[in-house]
Amino acid sequence: MTALDALVTKRDAGLAWTFVAVATASIPAMIVLGEALWAGFAVLLVIVALVPPLAARDSSVMLPWETLAFAVLPIFVRTFGPPALDGVALSFVVSAIALVLVVELATFTSARLAPWFAVTLVALTTMAAVGGWAVAQFYADRLLGTQHLRSQNALMWDFVAATGVGVGAGIASQLYFDLSAVDTDIDLLGGGD
C-alpha cells in the first residue's frame, strides 16, 4: 500500500465514522421529536455500521462512506422534509439499511451474491418492511382508533415508492461499485467477469 492509498483509506474511514456519528447524534433528537420509529432506524443503522470495525478490531475497516451517506440521508429527509415525503423517506431508510447489509456481505465476507439476487434482496426487503409497517398501522387504526393510514390510494403509492426506491438503491450501488475501486464479490448489474 502506497502512502497515497493509506491517506485515502484514512480519509474514507474518517468520513464513514462522521456519518456514523451523525446517525448516533440523531437518535436523541428523534426521541425528543417523538419519532421513536426513526430513532429505531438510526439505532439499527449504527449497529449494522459498527459490525465490520468491531469484528476486525480495526477502526479503519468501515463501509464505504458513500453507502453510509446514502443511509443517513433519509433521517434528514424525515426530520426536515415536507410531510408528503414520509412514505418515500420510510422506503428510503429501509432500502438504505438493506443496502448496507448487502454491501457488508459483499465487502467483508466470502459470500458471493448473484447480481439479480442482490438487487432483488434490497427491493424485496424494502417492500416487505413497508408492507409490514402498513399492516401494523392498519391494526393500530382498527384496534386503537388511530388515524395512521390516510387512504388506500396513499398506501398503494407508498408501496410503489418502496419498490422503486429498493430497485433504485440496488442499481445505484452497482454503479458505485463499478465506478470505484471498492473490492467486493458483488456485481449487481451482471457486467463483471
Going 102 to 103 to 106 to 109, the CA torsion angle's sign is negative
Structural domain including 135 reads 3-179
Residue 82 counted as domain residue: yes
- Please give the Cα distance from 115 to 185 (Å, whole number): 10
The fraction of the chain above a pLDDT of 70, given in percent, is 77
Q: Is pLDDT of 173 > 60?
A: yes
Per the prediction, the chain carries an average pLDDT of 77
pLDDT number for residue 192: 47
Taking only the tens place, the pLDDT of each residue in 108-157 is 788 777 767 777 788 888 888 888 887 887 788 888 877 766 677 777 77
Q: Is pLDDT of 184 > 70?
A: no
Residue 186 counted as domain residue: no
With DSSP H G I counted as helix, E B as strand and the rest as coil, what are the percentages for the chain, rounded to 5? 80, 0, 20
Number of neighbours of residue 72 by Cβ within 10 angstroms: 21
Residue 193 counted as domain residue: no
Q: What are phi and psi of 186, to 5 degrees?
A: -125, 140
Taking only the tens place, the pLDDT of each residue in 71-111 is 888 887 776 666 656 667 777 888 888 888 888 887 778 87
Residues paired with residue 186 on neighbouring β-strands, in sequence order: 113
Number of domains within the chain: 1
The three-state secondary structure class of 186 is: strand
Please name the residues in contact with 153: beta carbons below 8 A apart, sequence gap of 6 or more. none
Number of neighbours of residue 69 by Cβ within 10 angstroms: 15
pLDDT number for residue 56: 86
Q: Is pLDDT of 30 > 70?
A: yes
The fraction of the chain above a pLDDT of 90, given in percent, is 9
pLDDT number for residue 43: 94
Residue 25 counted as domain residue: yes
Q: Which of 145, 53, 57, 42 is nearest to 94 (CA)?
A: 42
> What's 33's DSSP letter?
T
Q: What is the mean pLDDT of residues 179-184?
A: 52
Q: In the numeric block, which cell numbers belong to residue 18?
A: 462522521
Residue 153 counted as domain residue: yes
- Please give the Cα distance from 147 to 137 (Å, whole number): 8
Q: Contact 90/128 with Cβ under 8 angstroms?
A: no
Residue 103 counted as domain residue: yes
Q: Is pLDDT of 187 > 90?
A: no
Residue 185 counted as domain residue: no
Angle among Cα 66, 72, 74 to the nearest 5 degrees reads: 120
pLDDT higher at 5 or 124: 124
Q: Is pLDDT of 183 > 60?
A: no
Residue 43 counted as domain residue: yes
